[in-house]
Amino acid sequence: MKVEQVLEDLKRRFPNEPEYHQAVHEVLESIEEEYNKHPEFEKANLIERLCIPDRIFSFRVTWVDDKGNTHTNMGYRVQHCNAIGPYKGGIRLHASVNPSILKFLAFEQTFKNSLTTLPMGGGKGGSDFNPKGKSSAEIMRFCQAFVTELWRHIGPDTDVPAGDIGVGGREVGYMFGMYKKLAREFTGTFTGKGITFGGSLIRPEATGYGNVYFLLEMLKTKNVDIKGKKCLVSGSGNVAQYTCEKLIELGAIPVTLSDSSGYIYDPEGITAEKLEYVKELKELYRGRISEYADTYGCKYVAGARPWGEKGDIALPSATQNEISGSDAEKLVANGVIAVSEGANMPSTPEAIAVLQKAKILYAPGKAANAGGVSVSGLEMTQNSERLSWSAEQVDNQLKWIMSNIHENCVKYGTEADGYVNYVKGANIAGFMKVARAVMAQGII
């Protein structure tokens, strides 16, 4: 395999899909050497078979707003690879959603899920529906219309969706309700469900908690204590909130949060009480993070990201490409010792190069944010055995999974000078397992 040639080919066949090209490039670049030790992979054209999704469904979603106006949106499900288990991955509702973004997310999900040790393939879905400012009734009608098309492509052993940007417990509930009605079955076809109908304890917390567990493992390699460390967190949704919750519990000090309008900087630290305010603001009132600054009298910067503020650790938890090369330079100049990604692909390739050149601890999303899908996998297990586990049991499994992923990154990513290249480690560990499974299953 020659990475540049594979990429050129993908760009020619699938033009105008920059996020997809970016994700593929990052993985291929770091597995090239390992892959080329296996001539049997090349003979079986494994690269194309693992880069191009198995299939993509796209459909029109039509729904009616509260004023009686009819709207259309596009709905998609990308089923990337089911070599090691049923397709598994979230649904994103955001105005920016398009095939390129969902293809990058489904591609990443395949290797992330492989890292979890649980039997899950990779997929992702979503719509360009913009949930901002919509009433609960409008959200419900949209989710129902979306599932009216999606339901025939998913199932507990086929494809199991969950949440992502714009999709939390409320949306999963509406989608599951409609699915159950159409499919005439009560099974674990969605994860992130409400606790009264098959949801797992700790699933809402899992991505944020898991990211902090991964960060702890990284810090341990340098004998650094998290206590008292100032943390720059971006986003203010599910992942950001539970990242802050765990950081606070461990004595670290989150000082920033953001949304698509801007960021807040609270030098006193976001406390448990202030975090409760953020949860209400975002989950209940669906307000803007600027309101935090109004309430607590701290700094708010419109239209900017928090990476220029002083901190010890950065945990990007909003969206892709939110740390540019120059943002990464600011982080390094300010003495940040670790970057652990809660979001998917938040660092641009330029940013990754800066962070790795500075030899700081840097964990890519597919390793650091795998806690969310891991507990989704545990939810599937609980649904299959028709039991529910205690929060402690789930949390312990989550800790074990995150430390196992860390161990694999160290195993496959340690370089000659001792620096752990977590990107390389995660990509090799995740990719090789899927590759072996595909090879064993023949040319299909």
Q: Which long-range contacts (CB under 8 A, 24 or more apart) does 237-240 make?
A: 237/165, 237/168, 237/282, 237/317, 237/318, 238/163, 238/168, 238/204, 238/207, 238/208, 239/207, 239/208, 239/211, 239/317, 239/342, 239/343, 239/369, 239/372, 240/208, 240/315, 240/317, 240/318, 240/342
By rule CB under 6 A, what count of residues binds ligand 2IT?
11
Near ligand NDP by CB under 6 A: residue from 372, 377, 413, 430: 372
Q: Does 364 bind ligand 2IT (CB under 6 A)?
A: no
Min dist. Cβ of residue 325 to ligand 2IT (A): 24
Q: Which stretch binds ligand 2IT (CB under 6 A): 83-91, 271-279, 333-341, 414-422?
A: 83-91
Using the minimum distance from each CB to ligand NDP, give the nearer residue, 378 or 435: 378
- For residue 397, the partner it binds in ligand 2IT, ligand NDP, none, with Cβ less than 5 to 8 A by kind, is none
Min dist. Cβ of residue 83 to ligand 2IT (A): 17
d(CA 153, CA 146) in angstroms, rounded, equals 12
- For residue 239, the partner it binds in ligand NDP, ligand 2IT, none, with Cβ less than 5 to 8 A by kind, is ligand NDP
Per DSSP, the three-state class of 133 is: coil
- For residue 173, the partner it binds in ligand NDP, ligand 2IT, none, with Cβ less than 5 to 8 A by kind, is none
Q: Which 8-state DSSP code applies to residue 338? A: E
Site string for ligand NDP, 350-369 (x = CB under 6 A): -------------------x
Near ligand NDP by CB under 6 A: residue from 114, 317, 340, 374: 317
Site string for ligand 2IT, 200-239 (x = CB under 6 A): ----------------------------------------
Near ligand 2IT by CB under 6 A: residue from 26, 138, 159, 164: 164
81, 48 contact by CB (below 8 A):
no
- For residue 260, the partner it binds in ligand 2IT, ligand NDP, none, with Cβ less than 5 to 8 A by kind, is ligand NDP
Give the CA angle between residues 431, 396, 115 to the nearest 5°.
Answer: 0
What angle, rounded to 10 degrees, do the helices at 370-384 and 391-413 form?
130
Near ligand NDP by CB under 6 A: residue from 30, 127, 148, 236: 236
Site string for ligand 2IT, 90-119 (x = CB under 6 A): x------------------x----------
Name the residues annotated as catalytic: 124
372, 348 contact by CB (below 8 A):
no
Q: How far is CA 283 from CA 9, 132, 135, 241, 376, in A?
A: 43, 12, 13, 10, 21
Site string for ligand NDP, 325-344 (x = CB under 6 A): -----------------xxx
Instruction: Catalog residues that contact ligand NDP under the rule CB under 6 A.
Output: 94, 163-166, 168, 207, 235-240, 259-261, 317-319, 342-344, 369, 372
Instruction: Catalog residues that contact ligand 2IT under the rule CB under 6 A.
Output: 88-90, 109, 162, 164, 191, 344, 372-373, 376
